[in-house]
Amino acid sequence: MKQQNLRRLFRKEGLKVGHALFEFNTPGIGQILSVSGVDFVFLDMEHSGFGMMETKQLIAYLRAGDLPVLVRPPSKSYHHIARVLDVGADGVMLPMVANADEALQALSHLRYPPQGHRGVAIGIAHDGYAPAPPSRTLAAANRRIAMAALIETAEGVDNIDKIAATPGVDCLWLGHFDLSASLGVPGQFEHPDFVTAERKIRRAANRHSKALGFLVTDADQGAQSYAKGYDVICYQLDVGAYRDAMTHGIAQLRSACAKRKPRSKD
């Protein structure tokens, strides 16, 4: 099995485009997304109904498209981080990272010794069920597994420089809805407090040469974000993409049919 190096992808110059899975678990999804041209997939366990087995299945499906998978576990706890890695995740997106200590703790969960304390299991899903020398396998995993820190609280913004400076944090990811709520201005993305906080995150990513991620809902928003410095652009949730395509298509169909007079059934 080809081992995906998500850390290397995040460190590449230029645009990295992803797509978020919150709802659809189907065997063809990996090949469908590969054909669409995405570079990685963000698989969510925090706000979706995906449990560990569904996540394992989805990662296997995404392997068919040779796509690296960034999983957001339900929490920053060891048993969630280690398990999503054991079922095959190429990286983890940690929710609500508030300070550098939390980032370091999470990194210790996802790294094997001597860099961390992740438990060792060889020849299971994350290895493609192939036997391999433990020393080589552990070292390779430590080099390729990525960690993205979701900055979505006022405390996280206050500590953004120390989080960004933490070795092993590969990507800072703006959690805009939660951040706006934490700042007391839910959904008000033009509010001065949110604008100031978002700018601090961008500047910290640039200062410490970290990838900068954001989930967008359309190409224009993505282009505007890219121009501001976001280089890891996640395009749409699966639910939103399907809903918007169907809404547009059905509206077009109704409009086209309204312009045509039906033939007589006689």
For residue 101, is it within any domain? yes
Cα torsion 227, 231, 232, 236 to 10°: value is 20
Determine the average pLDDT of the residues in 94-111.
Answer: 98
- pLDDT tens per residue across span 13-45: 999 999 999 999 999 999 999 999 999 999 999
pLDDT digits (tens, 9 = 90+) for 144-168: 999 999 999 999 999 999 999 999 9
φ/ψ (deg, to 5) at 151: -100, 105
What would the two tokens of residue 164 be?
């960004």
Q: Say if 263 falls within a structural domain.
A: no
1 has a pLDDT exceeding 70:
no
Is 266 part of any domain?
A: no
Token duo for residue 123:
């020849």
In angstroms, the CA 183 to CA 203 distance is 19
List 19, 47, 176, 191, catalytic entry = 47
Query: Residue 110 sits in a domain of what CATH number?
Result: 3.20.20.60
C-alpha span between 68 and 59 (Å, rounded): 9
What the block records as the tokens of 132 is: 């391999």
pLDDT for position 262: 82
Q: Measure the CA–CA gap between 162 and 185, rounded to whole angstroms.
A: 25
Cα 149 to Cα 104: distance, rounded to the nearest angstrom: 11
Mean pLDDT of 261-266: 73
Residue 43: count of CB within 10 angstroms of its CB: 25
Beta strands in 66-222 (DSSP E): 69-72, 91-94, 146-151, 171-174, 211-216
Q: What range does the domain containing 73 cover?
A: 6-258
47 is catalytic: yes
Name the pLDDT band for 3 (thresholds 50, 70, 90). Answer: confident
Closest CA to 235 of 79, 56, 18: 18
Beta bridge partners of 235: 216
pLDDT computed for residue 266 by the predictor: 60
Write down the residue that tokens 């485009």 correspond to. Answer: 17
The model's pLDDT over 5-18, given as tens digits with 9 standing for 90+, comes to 999 999 999 999 99
> How many domains does one find in the chain?
1
pTM: predicted TM-score of the whole model, two decimal places: 0.94
Contacts of residues 139-143 at CB distance under 8 Å and 24 or more positions apart, as own/partner, are 139/112, 140/3, 141/85, 141/112, 142/111, 142/112, 142/115, 142/116, 143/5, 143/7
Tokens of 92: 């983890």
How do residues 32-83 score in pLDDT, each as one tens digit? 999 999 999 999 999 999 999 999 999 999 999 999 999 999 999 999 999 9
Any domain includes 10: yes
